[in-house]
C-alpha cells in the first residue's frame, strides 16, 4: 500500500516458532541483508482494514483460558501466550523472558481483546526502548480519514504505539477507524471524551460519565488508557507556588474538579471499579502524571513526588486485580536529575514500566524541543525508561504538521536507539556497525538504506553531489577527493595489508622497541 | 549593522571594573529586563572593520610585562590581564577565578596578540560551556566576502569561536578578512594550508613548509591552531582493524606522511620549536585528536587512547614553554561511555580544557547528526568538557547551508546550556525560570524574546495562530481555550490565593488530618 522508505527495503515475514513475524529487510549492495525491527504493518484490504491476526488466538484462548483474560493473569499462570511469543520473536529474545517480565509487572503487552488487528509488542526495560506518537482531531481541525493518514505516517517512521488524543466532534468514529487500521497499540485519555460529553465544563464531570466513556472505548479495542487518578485533592495546594503550575491537561481538569466539588478525585475513589472494567478487556493502565513538572524549576518537587507515591499505590491495586500497568513521567528535568526520576519511579511503583514525555533538559529553546527533550529522553531511557512519548519541534508553540511528526518520530527513534546501545541491549550495536562499515567503504546507497530516514539522508547528499556517480565515489562533498580522510585511511590500510610481513618486522623494531624504551626515530616516546 | 534577533533585544555595554562589556539585554513586556551573554560583536566601521578593543591593553603590556606574552605566563606571574577581567565580566565571576584557572592550565583565553579586534572570552570547565562553528572555502565554493558573511551568521546565533577551515585558493586573503571582522577567537588547522602549498601531496609536506604556514597565520592573528602532533608512527598500525579507520583529515594526512617516509610525525619531532613560535604570539594549541573514533565501534580503542596519552605529554611540554593548551576529543561514543572520555582526558592531560566534536551517540541517523551529537555533547559537557564543536544536519552527507549552520549553532547552544544547568553553574537556571514564567503567564512575546531562536519560535506560533491577539491570549493552539491546562492551573492558583484562609482551614482538616492517618473523604491515603 505504501512505498517502502527505501527501494532496497522489503517487508518480510520471518517464520518463528509457528508464527510469522515482520521485519524490514535491508538488501545491501554487496548481496548481504540486514533485518530491522518494523512497526509499519501489513497491507490493508480494499476496505482499508487489516487482517485480524489475533482472532484465532483469542478465540482459542476463550475456550481454554479458564477465565484468565489479561496478559498479566496469563503470565502469572505460566501461560506463554501467542502475544508473548510474537513480541519475543520481534525482540529476538526467549518468550519465557517476556512471560516472566510481564508476570513480574516489569513489562506490559498492551493488547485489548477487541483489537485483533494488533501486531503485539512488549514495553519494558528488558526490551528495546519504544516510542509513542500522538495524533488526534481538535475542535477545528482534521477528519477521520485525516487521522488514519496521521496514524500511517507516524507508524511508517517507526512509532511503536500511537495515542489518539482527539477532542471535538466525531471522536467515536475517528477512534473506530484508527483502531481498525492500526497494527500498533492505541492509547487514549478518556477524560478528554468525557469532557466533551459535558460540554467542556470540568465541574460537570462525574464517575458515571467517565465510566460510560471508558466502557465505550474498551469495547472498541483501545489498548491502553491514561488515567489521572493520582491527582488527589490534597496534592493541589502543593502546586500553587510552582513556576508553571499544572501543565497536564488531564491533571488540570481533575484538579479543577476536585476544587469545584471539594471532593476526592473520582478516578481515585472509583479506582477499583475501573480496574475491573479494564481487566475484562485487557486494557492496560498508563497512570498519568497529572502533576508532572512543566519547567526545570518544578522538577522533583513535592507535588510531583506526592503524586508518584500515589501512583505506586495504584500500581499495586491494579496489579492485584490483574490489570497491566505502566507509569507516566515528566516533562522538564535538569539533566543531572534525570536518572533519579526513573530510579524513584521504579522504586516506588514496584518496577512498573516507566513512560516519559521527554524530559526536556532545558526550557530556553522553544522550536527545538524535539532536541532538548531527546537529550533527556536518551538519558532517561539509558537508565531504564521503557517507552518515550515523542515531542515535535512545535511543542509549546503550535500544532505539528506532517514534517514535524516525521522529525519528532525519527528524533525519538534515534534517542531510543542511543539508549539501547548504552544499555548494551543484545544486538543493538550491530546496526551502528553495519552503517559505519558502509560509510567507511563508500557504499552510499547502503548508508542511506541503513539509516533511520533514508529519503532525508539521500536528499542531503544529493543537495551537494546529485550525480549518481557520486553515490559510488570514494569521497564526499565535505573534504573533496584530495582531503578525504577515509580514502587516505583506506590507503593506509591497504599499505599495511599488502606489506604485512614488512610491517610485522617494523613492529618488531620501530614500534615494539620503542615501547620498550628505545628512542623512536624522532625521539618519540609514549608517556 | 545587523538587526537584533528580536525587536526587544538590545546590545548594551555594561560598565564593569573600568571595562565596558557587552550583553544582550532582553526588554520584557512587564518592564523588567533580562541580560544574556552575547557573542554578536560591535558595529563595524564603513570599511567593514571592528574597533581595536585590545590595542591599548597590548601596547601598555608591551612596555611593562617584562617579556611575558601569553595569558598563561602572565597568570602564573599573578598578573590579572584586561583579557581576564573582560572574560570574567562576561561570565559574571571574579577575575581572580579566571587568572587562577588559566595559571593552572584548566582554562585558556585564546587571544593572539595580533587579534586586537577580539572580545576576550575564556574556555574552561569552571566557566560557561562554549561552542565552536566551522566556516571555510573549499576548492570550488565560496569567496572572501562569503566567508565573512558565514562568520557573521555563526556569531549572530551564538558561536563562541569560529574555525576557518578553508582549503583551495585565496586562503590567506580570506583569513585576513575573517580575522579583521571577528569579535570571537578564530581557530585554524594549518596543515590544510600547508597541504595546498605542496599541491595536495601529503608526502611532500615538510616541517619547513608547515613552519612557514604557522608563522604566516600567527602574524595574522589566528587565536588557536589544531595541531595533530599526537599521531605517531607507532599508532598507525593500531588503526588498521578499525571499523572506520582514521576519520580526521589532519590525522589521515599525518598518518599518510609517516607511512610514506617511515619517519616520526614532524609535528611531534619539532613540537618544542612549534611551542616557541606559538608562545611568541600567544596562540593557543588545540591538540588535535587525529585518531578519534569515527564510529561507536572504534570509541576508546587502543589507537585513540595511545594518542590521548601522547597529547598528555604534549600538553605538559607546551605549558612548560608558556603556551596555552586545550585538547580535542571525539567523535562517536556510546552514551554510557561518554563520561569516561572526559575523565580520561582530564586525568591524562593534567586538566587541560577538553574540546569535543559531539560526540555522536549513535551512527544510524545521518541527516539528524546535529541531534545524535547534541545528546553526546550535553552529557560530555555536563561531565566537564569546556567547548563543543558543532555538528550540522548535513554531517557525513554534504556541505551545510545557512539554515544548517543556524540549526547547528542553536542546537549546540542549547546543549551547552543543558550542561551549564546540570553542572549547577551559577545563574544558569535563571534563564530557564524566566522563560517558563513568561510561558505560564501567557507572555508570548517575552517567551519568544527569551528563547534561543526568537524568529523561529514566533514563526512556529504564527503558523497556527497568526493573529496578534493570539500573542496575548490565555491559551494556545495545542489545547485551545477549553482544554488549556495552564489557564485552568492559573484559575486554581487564583482560587487558592483568594481563599487562603478558607484553604488554610481546609489544610487543617482535609489535608493534614489525612496525612496523620484519618481517611480522606474518599478513603484516600498516601502510601
Would you call B429 and A296 a contact, using CB atoms and an 8 Å cutoff?
yes
How far apart, in Å, do the first and last CA atoms of chain B sit? Answer: 62
Is the Cβ–Cβ distance between A378 and A413 less than 8 Å? no
Chain A CB contacts of B204 below 8 Å: none
Kindly list the residues from chain B whose CB atom is less than 8 angstroms away from the CB atom of residue A371. Answer: 370-371, 374, 411, 414
Contact B365, A432 (CB under 8 A): no
**Is B361 in contact with A378 (Cβ distance < 8 A)?**
yes
- Using the beta-carbon criterion (under 8 Å), do B482 and A435 form an inter-chain contact? no
Q: Which residue of B has its CA nearest to A407?
A: B368
Residue A29 has what pLDDT? 97
CA distance to partner chain B, nearest, from residue A29 (Å) = 18
CB distance A432–B295 less than 8 Å?
yes
Which pLDDT score is estimated for A526?
26
pTM for the full model? 0.93
Interaxial angle between packed helices A144-157 and A171-181, expressed in degrees from 0 to 180 and rounded to the nearest 10? 40
Q: Do A450 and B364 touch (CB under 8 A)?
A: yes
Q: Cα torsion at B67, B72, B74, B77 (round to 10°)?
A: -110
Element (H, E) at A270: none
Instruction: Collect all residues with Cβ–Cβ distance below 8 Å to B434 and sequence separation of at least 6.
Output: B34, B450
Distance in angstroms (rounded) separating the CA atoms of residues B276 and B323: 8
pLDDT of residue B517: 33
Task: With H, G, I as helix, E, B as strand and everything else as coil, classify residue B114.
Answer: coil
pLDDT score recorded for residue B362: 98
Does B514 contact A234 at a Cβ distance shorter than 8 Å? yes
Strand B387-389 and strand B130-135: the pairing is parallel
**How far is it, in rounded angstroms, from Cα A253 to Cα A264?**
13
Q: Chain A: give the shortest CA distance to residue B119, in Å.
A: 25
Instruction: Tell me the CA distances in angstroms from B11 to A230, B22, B25, one per residue in order.
Output: 48, 7, 6
Q: To probe the interface with A, which of B368, B392, B405, B495 has the most A CB atoms within 10 Å?
A: B368
| Residue B423 with chain A: CB contacts under 8 Å | 336
The sign of the CA dihedral B131, B173, B111, B353 is: positive
**Cα separation, B20 vs B525, whole angstroms:** 59
- The answer to whether residues B352 and B315 touch, using CB atoms and an 8 Å cutoff, is yes
Contact B361 A523 (CB under 8 A): no
Dihedral, CA of residue A441, residue A445, residue A449 and residue A454, to nearest 10: 120
B366 with A437: Cβ contact below 8 A: no
3-state SS of A71-95 is HHHHHHCCCCCHHHHHHHHHHCCCH
- How confident is residue A497, by pLDDT bands cut at 50, 70 and 90? low
pLDDT in tens, A268-295: 999 999 999 999 999 999 999 999 999 9
Tell me the C-alpha distance between A479 and B478, whole Å: 44
Predicted confidence (pLDDT) at residue A468 exceeds the cutoff of 80? no
Closest partner residue to B463 among A368, A398, A456, by Cβ? A398
pLDDT band at residue A479, thresholds of 50, 70 and 90?
A: low
Q: pLDDT by residue (tens digit) across A113-157?
A: 999 999 999 999 999 999 999 998 876 666 888 899 999 999 999
Q: Do B362 and A139 make contact, defined as CB atoms within 8 angstroms?
A: no
Contact A454, B364 (CB under 8 A): no
Among A309, A334, A418, select the one facing B422 at the smallest CB separation.
A334
Cell of A419: 539508549
Rounded to the nearest angstrom, the minimum Cα separation between B113 and chain A is 31
Residue ranges at the known binding site of A for Zn(2+): 332, 396
- What pLDDT is stored for residue B501 in this prediction? 54
In degrees and rounded to multiples of 5, residue B437 shows phi and psi of -65, -40
Sign of CA dihedral A103, A105, A108, A114: positive
The C-alpha atoms of residue B298 and residue B239 are separated, in whole angstroms, by 9
Q: What's the mean pLDDT when you consider all of chain B?
A: 90
User: Could you tell me the three cell numbers for A56?
Assistant: 484465532
Mean pLDDT of A208-212: 98
Of B477, B507, B524, which has the smallest distance from its Cβ to A399's Cβ? B477
Higher pLDDT, A85 or A484: A85
The pLDDT, as a whole number, for residue A137 is 80
In chain A, residues with a C-beta closer than 8 Å to the C-beta of B296 are 421, 429, 432-433, 436
Chain B residues touching A461 at Cβ < 8 A = 397-398
Per-residue H/E/C for B256-294: HHHHHHCCCCHHHHCHHHHHHHHHHHCCEEEECCCCCCC
| pLDDT value, residue A500 | 54
How does pLDDT run across A58-77, given as a tens digit for each residue? 999 988 878 899 999 999 99
CA distance B52 to chain A (A): 33
From CA A23, how far away is CA A35, in angstroms rounded?
6
pLDDT tens string A176-207:
999 999 999 999 999 999 999 999 899 999 99
pLDDT tens string A369-403: 999 999 999 999 999 999 999 999 999 998 899 99
- Nearest residue to B393 via CA among B412, B376, B378, B379: B412
Cα distances (Å, whole numbers) of residue A448 to A65, A68, A187, A431, B370: 47, 47, 32, 13, 17
Which of B248, B378, B526 is opposite residue A306, by nearest beta carbon?
B526
CB contact under 8 A, A414 and B371: yes
When the pLDDT of each residue in chain A is averaged and rounded to a whole number, the result is: 90
Best CA proximity match to B293, nearest among B391, B360, B384, B367: B360
Query: Of A207, A217, A200, A228, which Cα lies nearest the Cα of A164?
Result: A217
- The sign one gets for the Cα dihedral B70, B75, B76, B78 is positive
CB-based contact B488 A256, cutoff 8 Å: yes
Q: Is the pLDDT of residue A519 over 80?
A: no
For A175-229, give the secondary structure using H, E and C: HHHHHHHCCCCEEECHHHHHHHHCCCCHHHCCHHHHHHHHHHHHHHCCCEEEECC
pLDDT of residue A43: 86
A253: number of CA atoms within 13 Å, CB side? 31
In three-state form (DSSP H/G/I as H, E/B as E, the rest C), the secondary structure along B455-498 is: HHHHHHHHHHCCCHHHHCCCCCCCCHHHHCHHHHHHHHHHHHHH
- Tell me the chain A residues in contact with residue B478 when contact means C-beta distances shorter than 8 Å: 396, 398-399
- Work out the minimum CA distance from B325 to partner chain A, whole angstroms: 17
Percent of chain A with pLDDT over 70: 91
**Are A240 and B439 inside 8 Å of each other by CB?**
no
Q: B332 by DSSP, 3-state: which?
A: strand
Mutate to test the interface with B, among A242, A369, A492 (most CBs of B within 10 A): A492
Q: How confident is the model at residue A24 (pLDDT cuts 50, 70, 90)?
A: very high
Which of B165, B295, B418, B476 to probe the A interface (max A CBs under 10 A)? B418
Pull the grid cell for residue B254: 599525518
Between chains, do B464 and A398 touch, taking CB under 8 Å as contact?
A: yes
Instruction: Say yes or no for a CB contact (<8 Å) between A436 and B410.
Output: no
For residue A382, the chain B residues in CB contact (below 8 A) are: 335-336
Q: Residue A522: pLDDT band by 50, 70, 90 thresholds?
A: very low
Tell me which chain A residues have a C-beta less than 8 angstroms from the C-beta of B249: 479, 483-485
The pLDDT tens digits for A97-117 are 999 999 999 999 999 999 999
**A229's grid cell:** 487518578
**Cell output for A451:** 539509516
pLDDT at site A516: 32
pLDDT of residue A509: 36
Cβ neighbours of B335 in A, within 8 Å: 378-379, 382, 418-419, 421-422
Show Cβ contacts of residue A370 under 8 Å, excluding neighbours closer than 6 positions. Answer: A390, A391, A392, A393, A395, A407, A408, A411, A412, B371
pLDDT digit string (tens) for chain B, length 527 residues:
478 999 999 999 999 889 999 999 999 999 999 999 999 889 888 877 899 999 999 999 988 878 899 999 999 999 999 999 999 999 999 999 999 999 999 999 999 999 999 999 999 999 999 999 999 887 666 688 889 999 999 999 999 999 999 988 889 999 999 999 999 999 999 999 999 999 989 999 999 999 999 999 999 999 999 999 999 999 999 999 999 999 999 999 999 999 999 999 999 999 999 999 999 999 999 999 999 999 999 999 999 999 999 999 999 999 999 999 999 999 999 999 999 999 999 999 999 999 999 999 999 999 999 999 999 999 999 999 999 999 999 999 988 999 999 999 999 999 999 999 999 999 999 999 999 999 999 999 999 999 999 999 999 999 887 777 777 777 666 666 666 777 777 777 777 666 555 554 444 333 333 333 333 333 222 22
Nearest-angstrom CA–CA distance, A364 and A261? 37
* Contact across the interface for B421 and A396, Cβ inside 8 Å: no
Which residues of A define the annotated binding site? 134, 163, 192, 228, 248-250, 289-292, 328, 332, 355, 396, 476, 479, 484
Which stretch of A29-33, A499-503, B91-95 has the lowest confidence by average pLDDT?
Answer: A499-503
Strands A354-357, B161-164: pairing is unpaired
**Contact: B436, A374; criterion CB under 8 Å:** no
Q: What is the ipTM of this complex?
A: 0.93
Alpha carbon A181 to chain centroid, angstroms: 19
Say what the pLDDT of residue B44 is: 86
Which chain A residues have a beta carbon less than 8 Å from that of B200?
A: 482-483
Contact A488 B252 (CB under 8 A): yes
Question: Whats the size of chain B, residue-wise?
Answer: 527
Contact list in B for residue A383 (CB cut-off 8 A) is none
Amino acid at each position: 500500500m505504501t512505498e517502502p522508505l527505501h527501494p532496497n527495503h522489503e517487508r518480510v515475514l520471518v517464520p518463528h516458532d509457528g508464527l510469522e513475524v515482520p521485519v524490514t529487510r535491508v538488501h545491501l549492495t554487496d548481496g548481504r541483508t540486514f533485518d530491522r525491527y518494523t512497526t509499519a504493518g501489513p497491507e490493508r484490504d480494499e476496505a482499508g482494514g487489516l487482517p485480524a491476526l489475533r482472532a484465532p488466538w483469542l478465540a482459542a484462548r476463550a475456550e481454554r483460558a479458564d477465565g484468565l483474560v489479561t496478559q498479566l493473569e496469563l503470565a502469572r499462570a505460566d501461560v506463554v501466550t501467542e502475544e508473548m511469543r510474537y513480541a519475543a520473536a520481534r525482540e529476538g529474545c526467549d518468550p519465557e523472558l517476556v512471560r516472566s517480565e510481564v508476570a513480574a509487572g516489569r513489562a506490559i503487552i498492551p493488547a485489548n481483546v477487541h483489537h485483533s488487528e494488533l501486531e503485539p509488542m512488549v514495553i519494558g526495560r528488558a526490551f528495546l526502548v519504544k516510542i509513542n506518537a500522538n495524533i488526534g482531531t481538535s475542535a477545528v481541525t482534521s477528519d477521520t480519514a485525516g487521522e488514519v493518514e496521521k496514524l500511517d505516517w507516524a507508524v511508517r517512521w517507526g512509532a511503536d504505539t500511537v495515542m489518539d488524543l482527539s477532542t471535538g466532534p466525531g471522536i467515536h468514529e475517528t477512534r473506530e477507524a484508527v483502531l481498525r487500521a492500526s497494527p500498533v497499540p492505541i492509547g487514549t485519555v478518556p477524560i478528554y471524551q468525557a469532557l466533551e460529553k459535558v460540554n467542556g465544563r470540568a465541574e460537570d464531570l462525574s464517575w458515571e460519565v467517565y465510566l460510560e466513556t471508558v466502557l465505550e472505548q474498551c469495547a472498541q479495542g483501545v489498548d491502553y488508557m491514561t488515567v489521572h487518578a493520582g491527582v488527589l485533592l490534597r496534592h493541589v495546594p502543593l502546586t500553587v507556588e510552582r513556576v508553571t503550575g499544572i501543565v497536564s491537561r488531564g491533571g488540570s481538569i481533575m484538579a479543577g474538579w476536585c476544587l469545584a466539588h471539594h471532593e476526592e478525585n473520582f478516578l481515585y475513589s472509583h479506582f477499583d471499579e475501573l480496574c475491573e472494567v479494564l481487566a475484562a478487556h485487557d486494557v492496560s493502565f498508563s497512570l498519568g502524571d497529572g502533576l508532572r513538572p512543566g519547567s526545570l524549576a518544578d522538577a522533583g518537587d513535592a507535588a510531583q513526588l506526592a503524586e508518584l507515591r500515589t501512583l505506586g499505590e495504584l500500581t499495586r491495586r491494579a496489579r492485584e486485580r490483574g490489570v497491566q500497568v505502566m507509569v507516566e513521567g515528566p516533562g522538564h528535568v535538569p539533566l543531572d536529575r534525570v536518572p533519579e526520576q526513573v530510579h524513584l519511579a521504579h522504586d516506588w511503583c514496584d518496577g512498573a514500566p516507566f513512560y516519559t514525555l521527554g524530559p526536556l533538559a532545558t526550557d530556553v529553546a522553544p522550536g527545538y524541543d524535539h532536541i532538548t527533550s531527546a537529550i533527556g529522553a536518551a538519558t532517561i531511557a539509558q537508565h531504564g525508561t521503557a517507552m518515550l512519548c515523542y515531542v515535535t519541534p512545535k511543542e509549546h508553540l503550535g500544532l505539528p504538521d506532517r514534517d514535524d511528526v516525521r522529525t519528532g518520530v525519527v528524533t525519538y527513534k534515534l534517542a531510543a536507539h542511543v539508549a539501547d546501545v548504552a544499555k548494551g541491549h543484545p544486538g543493538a550495536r550491530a546496526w551502528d556497525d553495519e552503517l559505519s562499515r558502509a560509510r567507511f567503504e563508500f557504499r552510499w546507497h547502503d548508508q542511506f538504506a541503513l539509516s533511520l530516514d533514508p529519503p532525508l539522508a539521500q536528499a542531503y547528499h544529493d543537495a551537494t553531489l546529485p550525480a549518481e556517480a557520486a553515490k559510488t565515489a570514494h569521497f564526499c562533498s565535505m573534504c573533496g577527493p584530495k582531503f578525504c580522510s577515509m580514502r587516505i585511511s583506506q590507503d593506509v590500510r591497504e599499505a599495511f595489508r599488502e606489506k604485512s610481513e614488512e610491517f610485522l618486522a617494523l613492529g618488531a623494531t620501530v614500534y615494539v622497541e620503542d615501547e620498550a624504551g628505545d628512542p623512536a626515530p624522532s625521539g618519540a616516546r609514549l608517556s
